[in-house]
Amino acid sequence: MQQTWAVILVLLMLLSSGCGTMTDVERTAVGAGLGVDLDNENNVLFYAQFNRPVNVQETGANEAQSEVFTGRGKTPTQAARNITLVMPHLPLWSHADIFVLGEKLARTDLYYMADFLSRNRNIRKNSFLVVAYKVSPYDIFHGECPFALCSSRGIINILRAQDKNFGVYPLVTSLEFVTKLLSYGIDPVAPQVTIV
């Protein structure tokens, strides 16, 4: 009788190992950058830059190493979901290091984005936040950046170098931005990026 209970207990422990949400790495897409803007009808455009899984020795380091997907919806969450419907891999949003706000959205409704940034568990609170100036986040993600495999990483490298050497562009995380936005009497600041 004790052996039966021991076998049942061992089987239950094996079945509840926590691997139910396991995802095969080869079926995922690693996020590099996320961006949000508004279109002319005030629909949300959600942009996501993903690293392309390539071997640098085979293709060369100067080729584009990322893909940019665009989704449209009434909310940022719906627009991001529309991206997942056309992607062949499961997106890992939480790997994105940068969040690009479109200029139209930044001028229109930042509190809407504060709600999205603070509630969404898939966006890292320590990802850097920038504002696209006179271009869309899509253009920023398609821009070329020297010595970087994708523009998201290149922008972060440029901002870190500027902050370290000159103190011109202070790095702002999404958590800092939302905290200052929701604090009374404090205006949030974020560096602007554009394509030259």
What pLDDT was estimated at residue 21? 64
| C-alpha–C-alpha distance, residues 113 and 19, integer Å | 34
Structure confidence by residue, pLDDT tens digits, 13-32: 777 766 666 667 778 888 88
Q: How confident is the model at residue 48 (pLDDT cuts 50, 70, 90)?
A: very high
Q: What is the sign of the dihedral through the CA atoms of 53, 59, 65 and 67? A: negative
| C-alpha–C-alpha distance, residues 180 and 18, integer Å | 38
